[in-house]
A and B are shown apart, each in its own frame.
Chain A
Amino acid sequence: ETGVTQTPRHLVMGMTNKKSLKCEQHLGHNAMYWYKQSAKKPLELMFVYNFKEQTENNSVPSRFSPECPNSSHLFLHLHTLQPEDSALYLCASSPRQGGRGYTFGSGTRLTVV
């Protein structure tokens, strides 16, 4: 256990469903990140939150909607996804944005059918 917890571990959803991914850290970190890992591709940064404020949106489609209610929790709301959105979604945190000490969760394996 790294201190960053992601739920659920696995998720299968239809293209018309709405679901949410959750990430929680109790490391006292102030920055949180969502990454997407597709097969045969490098990890792609999706969103960055620093002290609950979104500081980076890496041209992510609007069907992905992040939410950061406090520095310990990060959500990724999903709606009307496409099969190509199937991937491993990883959450990470760090003491400050861009600083050392990145800690990753175990990820949510998402399959869109």
Chain B
Amino acid sequence: GIQVEQSPPDLILQEGANSTLRCNFSDSVNNLQWFHQNPWGQLINLFYIPSGTKQNGRLSATTVATERYSLLYISSSQTTDSGVYFCAVYNAGNMLTFGGGTRLMVKP
């Protein structure tokens, strides 16, 4: 099946810093989503992004489907950004396959 790899696995930032999270996938996909899982386990959809770039406040995402990767940018990070960020892709069967996640800790 399709493989989804995220990097880095762990990231520690000082509040106010910027960061880039990467998601690579092994095969063509129909679509891609980014999720944030807060420390209480809640998974929140951030972006549904098959290609191109989208922005939502301090977060933005870019997917280059032809090169099989997506990037999530976090600017001016805040402590509430802490948690795990997951990339998930739709395989040929239209099922979501998740990457291993990037665990982010933002220190005050």
A74 at the interface (CB under 8 A from B): no
Contact between B31 and A42 (Cβ–Cβ < 8 Å)?
no
Interface hits, B85-103 → A, CB 8 Å:
86, 88, 90, 93-101
Stretch of B13-21, B41-49, B52-60, B68-76 with 4 or more beta carbons under 8 angstroms from chain A: B41-49
Among B43, B44, B98, find the residue whose CB has the most chain A CB atoms closer than 10 A.
B43
Q: Whole-angstrom distance between the alpha carbons of A101 and B98 in the complex? A: 15
> B42's contact among A45, A99, A104, by CB below 8 Å, is which?
A104
Q: Is A43 an interface residue (CB 8 A)?
A: yes
CB pair A100–B31 under 8 Å, yes or no, is yes
Q: Which of B33, B95, B99 contacts A42 (CB 8 A)?
A: B99
Cβ < 8 Å to B, chain A residues 93-113: 97-104, 106-107, 109
Enumerate chain A interface residues (CB-CB to B < 8 A): 2, 41-43, 45, 48, 56, 88, 90, 92, 97-104, 106-107, 109
Given contacts A98-B94, A106-B42, 5 further A-B contacts (CB under 8 A): A2-B44, A42-B101, A48-B95, A98-B93, A109-B41
